[in-house]
Amino acid sequence: MSLGDVGDLKSEDEKRRLFFVTAEDTPDALMRVLGVASVQQVRLRALTARPEGAAISIRLEIDDQGDDRAQILAARLSSVPVVRGVGHGWR
């Protein structure tokens, strides 16, 4: 590894995970999704929400806490009644 490569590495604190949630576009859909994130004590770094027809697309960027925590958060988000789908990956 050269010194030029050092700047490209992310420290553990900078690793982020993205969650993509599609939900029914109800007045409380965003708050329900954020409530789950709050209960799971994730550190939210970015949030985007936009309507798409009869649905709302929500993108959450959070600090990565490992695969197990990500699976738990995805399962909890999926269990919210207005949520139609959840996907997640890394940034």
| pLDDT tens digit sequence for 42-53 | 999 999 999 999
The structural domains of the chain, ordered by start, are: 15-90 (3.30.70.260)
Calculate mean pLDDT across residues 27-32: 96
User: Residue 14 — pLDDT band, cuts 50, 70, 90?
Assistant: confident
Higher-confidence residue of 2 and 35: namely: 35
What mean pLDDT do residues 48-70 have?
Answer: 95
Which residues face 22 on adjacent strands? 57, 85
Between CA 64 and CA 85 the distance in angstroms is 20
Strand-pairing partners, residue 48, are 59
Half-sphere exposure of 3 (CA within 13 A, CB side): 0
Res 26: pLDDT? 96
- What's the mean pLDDT in 22-32? 97
| End-to-end alpha carbon distance in the chain | 22
